[in-house]
Amino acid sequence: MTDAKDSAFPGAQEMLNMGEQFTRQFFEFMGKQAASLPKGVPQAFVPDADAMSALQQEFAQRHAQLWSHMLKGDSRGTEPVVPAPAGDRRFSSDAWADSPVYDYLRQAYLLNAEYLSRAASDVPMEDGRMKARLQFLTRQFVDAMSPSNFAATNPEFIQAALETKGQSITDGIQNLLKDLEKGRISMTDDEAFEVGRNLATTPGAVIYENELMQLVQYAPLTDKVHQTPLLIVPPCINKFYIMDLQAHNSLVRFIVEQGFTVFLVSWKNPKETEAGASWDEYLDKGPLTALDIVRRVTRVKQPHVLGFCVGGTLLTSALAVARARGETPVASLSLMTTLLDFSDAGEIGCLVDEAMVAAREATIGKGGLLPGQELANVFSALRANDLVWQYVVGNYLKGGKPAAFDLLYWNSDSTNLPGPFLAWYLRNMYLENNLRVPGRLRMLGQKVDLGKVDMPAYLMAAREDHIVPWHSAYLARNLLGGETRFVLGASGHIAGAINPASKNRRSYWVSDAECAAAEDWLETAEERPGSWWLDWMEWLKPRAGKMVAARGRLGSKDFEAIEPAPGRYVKERAS
């Protein structure tokens, strides 16, 4: 084989050595960071010498194979030695394969990226949280160093510049300047959407509001409705209209069309006046107040309830408080991608440690706001290639404009969080995992026990969810006191949950088996095509009482309509 050092190909040896050099530097850096950690942790950053040597030899051989393949000449039309992972669109353009230089560059990068990822994965560490953080940091570096992210190493940048006679460069600079002024990367055409005009358009009215939430009641779309209403509690870390985007993909409209009287909590985007709000205040002025009003308006003592993500954690906590008070608050509980046991809290969990939580407690724990954009940046970093670098390349390098996409508009519509609420949530859920322990947490003066939340429960998780791992969502079956049905949807945290029945795409898994372990349950599960929404309706409708004439009036004498849905709160932007 021709030695890379003797080749005329520029940078070959540097690319060949990149993986080994960075790995050494990376672990040296992590070792220095570990010096401030408890005794015994620093040595955990040192990889096993034999395993690392074998890994280096394997990748040296693969680099040699790649180099030999490239020296044979024109590789167009042949299968790459190092194919891109499934779903990776960074190198899908023909421009990467048309040039042997760029073809080698992308394959060498992919090889080094795999090497670094495996090196981080193979480090022997007893602390699972620290290992997950190491893998997260490695992925951030690997994603950022992709040749597709830089003008000098991206042939699509050069191609676009030639085709537009340099206009793409000018447009890219203008896009960058506009985004710098806006304070975030543009992911969609912001002017294409407006909440209340073509998003969150299901008809209804706000019938109550306090300093933390508005309660929306939706107008019936059927002549008759189920006697038992449904209250929806969405997450407070983003806007509720992910559940009511447009008519064809609105979960809210779907439920109303199924003959349910639907109420929904619309959380306020907190400002300085709400900066001192605590977890207890969110429970009291959110789900518990909403439940009281739903009962008074409909005169039904036990509504159904649905919680999504953090909204599900809040809702279940509120029900635990009600049960501790001796109340039987609801007829059934449905949870979408919700954590109650945080022992494996996904990729967010690896970022939460004692130092981080203590810092938040010291800065905003007694009062203050976590800016919405900071929270949005964290979620974007979890999928940097899809939510960061794709738009850096498209907007700035190629001078393009992102397409109009309702989901990404919602994703960019960030919300602030009150510091006391956030600090309590991070410590008691992500860091100490206290909610699962009966009696350990006191909320609104009550010791809570999830085992007393004993109404029938429908639990939905998503198989590719990186925010709420489905194995962890499954653990709720071991905590709640009533009968449960668990359903596993395809795709991720949002696409798995918001899977419109009108399109009936993807699939879901169901099983009646009562297994303690998630994997045991999955072995018994049957995969069904289409949306899990239909399965949920089959479960919910028999519990929803008889059909009665739909009421034409929204609210009641005590709770008159304040303004049309979706209300003011959801339209407020994070400052």
243: CATH: 3.40.50.1820
Specify whether 128 is located in the same domain as 51.
yes
Specify whether 317 is located in the same domain as 435.
yes
Q: How confident is the model at residue 169 (pLDDT cuts 50, 70, 90)?
A: very high
Specify whether 134 is located in the same domain as 238.
no
Q: How confident is the model at residue 1 (pLDDT cuts 50, 70, 90)?
A: very low
Specify whether 233 is located in the same domain as 152.
no
**Residue among 514, 449, 519, 446 nearest 486 (CA):** 514
Domain boundaries, position 134: 4-163
Is pLDDT of 40 > 70?
A: no
The pLDDT > 90 percentage for the chain reads 74
On whether residue 402 sits in a domain, the answer given is: no
On whether residue 448 sits in a domain, the answer given is: yes
Specify whether 524 is located in the same domain as 450.
yes
On whether residue 21 sits in a domain, the answer given is: yes
Average the pLDDT over 53-63 and give the result: 86
Q: How confident is the model at residue 188 (pLDDT cuts 50, 70, 90)?
A: very high
Q: Using the structure block, give the residue that is written with the tokens 């084989």.
A: 1
0.75 exceeded by pTM: yes
- The larger pLDDT score, comparing residue 34 to residue 121, is at 121
Specify whether 460 is located in the same domain as 562.
yes
Specify whether 144 is located in the same domain as 218.
no
Q: Rg of the chain over CA atoms, in angstroms?
A: 26
Domain stops at, among 132, 163, 194:
163
How far apart CA 367 and CA 420 sit, in angstroms, is 6
pLDDT single digits (tens) 240-272: 999 999 999 999 999 999 999 999 999 999 999
Is pLDDT of 426 > 70?
A: yes
Task: Work out how many domains the chain is built from and give that number.
Answer: 2
How far apart CA 418 and CA 369 sit, in angstroms, is 5
Are 373 and 184 in contact by the 8 Å Cβ rule? The answer is yes
Domain stops at, among 140, 163, 186:
163
Residue 469: asked if its preceding bond is cis (omega within 30°), the reply is no
Specify whether 217 is located in the same domain as 289.
yes
On whether residue 193 sits in a domain, the answer given is: no
Specify whether 150 is located in the same domain as 292.
no
pLDDT single digits (tens) 269-312: 999 999 999 999 999 999 999 999 999 999 999 999 999 999 99
Specify whether 250 is located in the same domain as 323.
yes
pLDDT single digits (tens) 328-380: 999 999 999 999 999 999 888 888 999 999 999 999 999 999 999 998 988 88
Catalytic residues: 309
**Mean pLDDT across the chain:** 89
On whether residue 174 sits in a domain, the answer given is: no
On whether residue 453 sits in a domain, the answer given is: yes
Q: How confident is the model at residue 76 (pLDDT cuts 50, 70, 90)?
A: low
Specify whether 158 is located in the same domain as 250.
no
What is the per-residue pLDDT for 521? 97
On whether residue 389 sits in a domain, the answer given is: no
On whether residue 535 sits in a domain, the answer given is: yes
Q: How confident is the model at residue 29 (pLDDT cuts 50, 70, 90)?
A: very low
Q: How confident is the model at residue 87 (pLDDT cuts 50, 70, 90)?
A: confident
Average the pLDDT over 411-426 and give the result: 96
Are 406 and 370 in contact by the 8 Å Cβ rule? The answer is no
Specify whether 101 is located in the same domain as 245.
no
pLDDT single digits (tens) 520-534: 999 999 999 999 999
